Amino acid sequence: MSATGELILWMDTPEALLRQVVGSKASALARVARVGSFPSGNPPQSGQRHRLGTQDISGLEDAQEASSFAFPTIPTPLGFVISAAACSELLGQESVAVPLSDCFRALDAGHIRPEELATQAQSLLDKAVFSARFLSQLEMAVTKLQLEGGEETLLAVRSSAISEDLVGASFAGQYESVLAVTGLDEVIRSYRLVVASLFSARAIAYHKSLETDPQANLMAVAVQRMVRSDLGASGVLLSSDPDLQGRQRTSGKYSDIAQAGTTEVATIEACWGMGDALVDGLIIPERYEVLNGAFDEEKKPRVAVFAQPQLLKSNGSGELVATTELERSTQVLDMDQILLLTTWGRVLAQNFGHAVELEWAVDGITDQILLVQVRPFSQRESAGSDSPEDSASNPLLLLGTGVGIGSGAIESRVCVLTDPLDAEAFREGDVIVTRNTDPSWLPLMLEASALVTEHGGRTSHAAILSRELGLLCVVGCADATTKLLDVQRVRVACEHGLGTITRADDSPT
């Protein structure tokens, strides 16, 4: 039960800052909304929030000063939270609690599989009856949110579990979120889905890896106005990318970035359309690297731009669609937007006291850039040797390169897979090679020695989870499933953001 017992809370209320009340995701967003101030006392007009002039950037060496005097409030989507107390009330019903406990006992005894438990949990929650108090409060909140945005306003119903977005336990992609929701009935249906995802097979596997109890978790749910990134753009920022620290050179538009005397690098990845294509590793995003503390002649931070043709995007239909001719010929973010996001990262990292991962979205209707999620960013030391050799120096052995996650090297058997549910060929310790991964791959990732994907970037779920697990990972390795199909053993090496896959000495050519 939450500390207040309230079932519905608006994100601008003081209680929304409490993780045990509204969950980690919502409490972090509520905290973000309270960072920064306006020197004039008035917020900038719509369309100007994501622009910072040269004089605004010049003081970035002191993030706190930027926050207090030259930094506008970070915009987040308007919304409310269905609290952890509501989840406790729902799961506490005898018609749900008793059979759900029976399911977990059967799972522990090996009588059912996690997938079967997940199906039964969803069925129980679909049949559960909400209290009149809950339905009344929810209807008023949905009505108010739609009145402020218009009846056609699309909503996002997003997970905000108590044990989510924590240091060393991001639960990235493990829980459900539902987009493009309209009306009370759809919000209720989406709420049932999100709460049921507490007991999904992948969430249970994640809890097992952490040695925590999935039954001890509660799910708060954020209901917010959906940012129309389907008509705009989206992406992720890492305020300080550990894989890039200390790198000797950078090959971007500004290749002299490494001469600035500092090694702290922020990474931004961006794509047109909705961010699921990026985080699910369905595309290779455009990337920008910003060297914190290093400034050019105009007192702006040095930025390296890694252009990547964006041919496909997500519009929320479940399928990737072609980008427009204008999108294909235009950089996703302009320099002002890159610098603004970097500023957000630095200010929030200082405010939260640790490196952060930010998910952001550009609304294609208003052209406003908003922050939609902030979570702690951490990386476990990767398995394998500490000093990977430069395998790329032998072109006869080199099979592929990509973006490296982690540091070290591992040599093992290759297992090319297309579906995590069809993995009979997989053995513990194999190097998994596939096109892309989603959270359902987690059980296999827990037993693999390394992961290689054809698509994805530094901020995809594959990369985020690999960092947490200490799993060496190479993303964006073109044609890996074809090139490695007939290879028995490979050496995977990652260092300073570069990943290489080479043929092992005893693997036949």
Whole-number pLDDT of residue 505: 66
Cα→Cα distances 145→74, 117, 362, Å: 20, 35, 20
* pLDDT tens by residue, the chain, 509 residues: 444 578 999 999 999 999 999 999 999 999 998 885 333 333 333 333 333 322 232 223 333 333 333 455 899 999 999 999 999 999 999 999 999 999 999 999 999 999 999 999 999 999 999 999 999 999 999 999 998 876 678 999 999 999 765 565 556 667 899 999 999 999 999 999 999 999 998 888 888 877 778 888 899 999 999 999 999 999 999 998 877 764 433 333 333 443 334 457 899 999 999 999 999 999 999 999 998 765 655 667 789 999 999 999 999 888 899 999 999 999 999 999 999 999 999 999 999 998 999 999 999 999 999 999 998 887 666 655 555 555 445 666 799 999 999 999 999 999 999 999 889 999 999 999 999 998 889 889 999 999 999 999 999 988 988 988 889 999 999 999 999 999 999 999 999 889 999 998 665 55
Tokens of 165: 């977005």
∠ Cα 459 461 462 (to 5°):
95
Strand order in the sheet with 219-225: 8-10, 79-82, 219-225, 155-161, 177-181
List of residues 6+ apart from 45 with CB closer than 8 A:
none
Q: How many residues does the chain have?
A: 509
Q: Any idea which residue has 């690098």 for tokens?
A: 265
Q: Give CA–CA dist 122/195, Å, rounded.
A: 9
**What distance in Å separates the CA atoms of residue 236 and residue 419, rounded to the nearest whole number?**
26
Calpha distance 308→133 (Å, rounded)? 51
Write down the pLDDT at residue 45. 35
The helix (run of H) or strand (run of E) holding residue 503 is strand 498-503
Domains of the chain, start order: 8-26+78-225 (3.30.1490.20), 228-376 (3.30.470.20), 391-503 (3.50.30.10)
Structure tokens at 313: 């995007």
Q: Which ranges constitute the DSSP H helices of 299-453?
A: 325-328, 335-352, 442-445
